[in-house]
Structure formats: C-alpha cells, structure tokens
Structure 1
C-alpha cells in the first residue's frame, strides 16, 4: 500500500451534499483498507445487488482481507443517478452502475454498456480485452476522474412490460415508457416518450400509471420486482440490449494509490464476476420466466415483425447521430463498429446455435 493512500481520510456523503471538494479517501480499516462502493440498485437485489456483494467478497478473499469493499445500496449515500459524480468527487471509492446512465456526460459511455442490435456478452468482453475497447474506456474514464472495470453482464434482456398489448408501431404512439439508452431514442422515433427512472422506483411508476410500460432486465430480476402485478404483457426479444455490461468506476486517485497487486486483484475479481454473473443470469432466467407465465398468468409476446424491422432501420441512424455528438464518441464508435463487423464474419462460421436447433 502506498504512503499517499494511507494518509487519506474518507469523505462522507454529508460533505458531498454540502459541496465540499477533496481527494478520494478510502477508509483505513484494522490491518487494511476499506473501499466504499455506491450502487445504483437496492442492496442485495437478485443479480445486480448480489453480484456487487460477490465481487466485494472476491476482492477480500484474494487480498486476505487487506482490501475490502463495503457495498451501499441505491439511496443509502446518494441517489442512483448521482453515484458517478459522488465517486469522482471522493464521496465514495467506486460505483456499481451501468455506463449508459452517463450518456449525458459523453455519448461514448453507452458503447461500454450495450448498443441496440450490437454485441453479445461474449463479444463485448472480447472487444474490451482484445479489440481495444478497454483502452478507449480507460481514456474516457480518465476524463471523468475514474478507472472503469466491467464486472457483470446480464446477457440478453427482454423487450419490456406493457399494460396493453402492442400489435403494431401505431400502438406505441404517445406511450410513456421507461427505456433508457439508445433503445429509448429509437422508440421515440415511433412516437413513444422514453423516460429514465431508477430501478427501485419502477414498480410504483408502472402501477400508478406514471408510465405505460417499462424495460428493466430479464425474467429473474423482473419477477423479483413484481412487475407482473402491474402489467401482464411481456415482450421479447430485447433487441436494444443483447448483452448488458454493468461496471465499476473506481475513483482515479484511489486506483492510482493501490499497489500493482491490489489493482490486479480488483481486475481479476471483476473478470471472474463478469463470467459468473452471466452464467447465473442464463441459469435463473428460464425458471423465472416459467413462473411468470405459468403461475402469474403473464402473456408472453414476440415483438411484431413490423416493429423489429423499424428498429433495424432506425438503429444505424441513432448510432450515427450519437457518435457525432463528441470526439470521444466518434472514436469509440469507429472501434466498436469495426469489431462488430469482424465478429459477424466469425459468427457466421463459428456459431453453431442454429445447427444445434435443427437437431431432433
């Protein structure tokens, strides 16, 4: 542990609210250092919250307790959409968030979460590790005072919940739908009004009629939030999110103050959790979907082909417009697009899923 790190003191949430500026200051615990993780989800929420805790446990085990992470749920320190600013300011040491929440800071962030009709979870990890994606993410993060890590992927998501069936694009006109990221911008082209609401507030918003529909994640998480009690029409596929990456953005000063071995522990724990979380989502989602359909009478629908075709037409336009909004977004877009196109070539040869489905 560096001398500089041991001299820092921890900024609490009150100082952030008061506007006090200071260096990031991890708490010094008995015989080690404790980092404060600010998450965007309810504490211990299945998948997102439990993965954050498991990541913390990995770090503690690998460091023999010398480096520990204390996980705080959404709203315990700051509101969900404030965690990145809080960590950059030093009121926390790292986040557990999704990069596309920070689209307003720079559109480049969205590429490190998920892009409509984009990369699968495996492909995204490959882009980060072997396609230049992580270097670009590090460059983007440095401009905002953080070091980014990918440490969870939900896999393919669902298309969303609606109170009334969606039979054509016309049925989307005028609907208020919780649909963040570029997927929401695409639906806006069809007349819907996308809104962004933290996960913990979604059920109330849907039940009260504040929104007419929503997209959250997939059956495992959607069942846990009880959306089936407010809407019965559940759509697939989630063309807007084929593999959604969740991240930790570590305060840049905190990261620089860690030793090489501690940085390696954090990176290895994040990598392991990315793979484990994806496996867990794949395992849990089908059971949860069966519960929703067979126990709670949810009506499962495939998106009308008309809407999917419109989304495929609109996606390149939305991506191009987003990429043009900043120099960094343009740079990331070029890397991401080149990698996607290359992966398509390999996928046509190496993906045996369709052949497997043809077997008796």
Structure 2
C-alpha cells in the first residue's frame, strides 16, 4: 500500500471511530435509590439485644444492599413495651420483636406466648409446636382478625428460672417475693405467693440493688450473666416454670405490604437464622453458666414439692382453655404434644 493511501484511510477510520464513540456513549447520571426505612424495637435491653437480634438486623441491612434499612431500637427506647402493639398499629413504629403477652396483643392466643407455664421443656419444643403441630396456622388466624398488624413468625428463647437475693429451697420460700416477670407467668406464680412487679427493663438492676425487687423470673441463667443481673442477685433456682420463651416478630401491615417480595423473603430468612443462632447460644449458656459462672449459687426445690406446681399448671391450662374455642384448641395441642413426648421417653421426656 502506498504511504499516501495508508494515511488517508487511517484518518477516515479514526474520524469515524471518534464520531461513533461520541454519539453512542453519552454520559448518564445514575439515579440514587431511596431505601425503604423501618424502625424496629425489641423487647431486649442493649446487652441482650447484642445477641438476640442485632446480628440479624446487621445481616439484613448488608444483604439488602441499600434497598432497605432497618434501624434497631432497644427495650422502651421509643415506646414503652406494653404500648408497642398499639404504636405498631398506628404506624408510630414499623416492626417489633417481642412476645405477644408483653406488648398486650389483643388476641386470645397472646396468653400462650412468653412463658405459658410448663408448655415447653426445651427450646426445640417451640419450632416443633409451631411447624409440626399447627400453631403457625392458629397464630395466623388470630392475627388476621386484628387490623393493622401482621404476625411474621415465632421462635424459641431461654427457660424461665428465678434469680433471687435470698435462697429458695421450698415453695414456702416463694411467698412474698417481689419478682420482675412476664404478665401471664406472674399471674400463675401468684398462686404460690409471688408478688409480680412490672418495671421498665432498664430499671430492674437498680430495683434489685435498692430492695424494691427480691428477684426476677424473667429468663434463664444465660441472660442473668449477660445483662448483669448475676451481679445483683446471689441465688439461682434450677426448677423452671417453662423450658423456653416464645417470642415473635410483628410488623405494621401497611408497611409490610409495601416491602417488595424479595425483601420480605430476606427478612424471613434472617429471622429464621436468628432463631437458630439464638437457640444454640442459649443451649450453650444455660449449661456453661451453671458450671462455670461462679457468681450465682444453685438451689433446687425437691421434686415432690415442685410436682405441686406442675399439677397447678394443668388446672391453669384448663382455665385458659375455657376462655375461647381457639384457646381450647391450643391447650388440646399442648396436652397431645406433652403426652407424645412422655410416651417417647428419653431424650424427649422422662417418664413419670
């Protein structure tokens, strides 16, 4: 090729390429996404929230990648816990992690949340009852009758034991004890002379120090050590009135419906992951702190005495069953489940 022809063709090619580049690739400003924002309040104080929900919310926010951001608030930080349900209905707060009982959910099944006496013995009982014995469908039915709030699912927490300032070695020792506990658990414990006391969560430690409280029946030993209650009590009663707390997630219905399906699925996946991780954390802690805690002295009420408490619980179940057909259905399930576990024997239950 002659030098003159080469220069001519190269010049034409370069001009065409430049024109193509200029026309085909204009600069475009990408539109910024406006994330969906939620405010979620948990029943738990700061130290406990670190374990029972904060990892979930951090994971959700990370995976949502700017499409949605959940701001987490601790117990009573925005709204007092007993007012959470109404606040959620009004849209003052978008979502809640708590038991139905503590937030005064206006459904008949709320009595079975938190620590319904002797309904569970182990944390695995909770997902089994909800997933295999029909409690999921019953809870959905109940909340479908209430406007403004959507129940998203339940999971297991720790057992309910007493941590006290003086030792409890018999039922007689329970009489007159002023105890911070849950609404339904407190009503049941009144039958044994316990005086239930309601306080904001953050005031409990000070109330134990000042003598306003004699003890707590709000958790197992893991939480006693985690949140500092083991520093202001001296004794831990190994008998419990329930083997696992039943907690749930709830959302304002309008806000939940506005969430895209992929983010709804993401929230439920992280919720299930949180339930699983929390269950193993408590299973570890309930044994670890009894053996290695070093702060609380363990006491036990003899079985022949504690049997009276379990017998009274059966009467209590029947009283609750009489309050509504749906409650009766739940109690029937609990009785069937307990009977099955006892007949199955170890490791499910020890035979009477």
TM-score (normalizing by structure 1)? 0.78
Structure 1 unmatched ranges of 5 or more: 1-28, 355-360
2:45 to 42, 57, 61: 42
CA distance in 1, matches of 2:154, 2:62: 17
Corresponding residue for 1:348?
345
Q: Deviations over 1:311-331 (max 9, x none)?
A: 111001112212323444334
Corresponding residue for 2:335?
337
8 Å Cα contact 1:102-1:110 kept in structure 2: no
CA distance in 2, matches of 1:286, 1:178: 23
Q: Which SS does the other structure have where 1:149 is aligned?
A: strand
Cα deviation for residue 230 of structure 1 reads 2.9
Q: Deviations over 1:288-331 (max 9, x none)?
A: 344532xx3x2111223344111111001112212323444334
Q: Deviations over 1:67-120 (max 9, x none)?
A: 221101123211122222211110111101122214673441132434222233
Aligned CA-pair RMSD: 2.6
Q: Which SS does the other structure have where 2:86 is aligned?
A: helix
Corresponding residue for 2:258?
257
Corresponding residue for 1:358?
none
Q: Flag the 1:276–1:330 CA change in 2: closer, same or farther, 3 A.
A: same
Q: Which SS does the other structure have where 2:345 is aligned?
A: helix
Cα deviation for residue 52 of structure 1 reads 1.6
8 Å Cα contact 2:83-2:103 kept in structure 1: no
Q: Which SS does the other structure have where 2:79 is aligned?
A: coil
CA distance in 2, matches of 1:342, 1:112: 21
CA distance in 2, matches of 1:306, 1:184: 22
8 Å Cα contact 2:164-2:216 kept in structure 1: yes
TM-score (normalizing by structure 2)? 0.80
Q: Indicate yes or no: 2:149 matched with 1:146.
A: yes
CA distance in 2, matches of 1:314, 1:131: 24
Corresponding residue for 1:220?
222
Larger Rg: 2
Structure 1, 336-345 or 124-133: larger mean CA deviation = 336-345
CA distance in 2, matches of 1:343, 1:256: 39
Corresponding residue for 2:307?
309
Q: Which SS does the other structure have where 1:100 is aligned?
A: coil
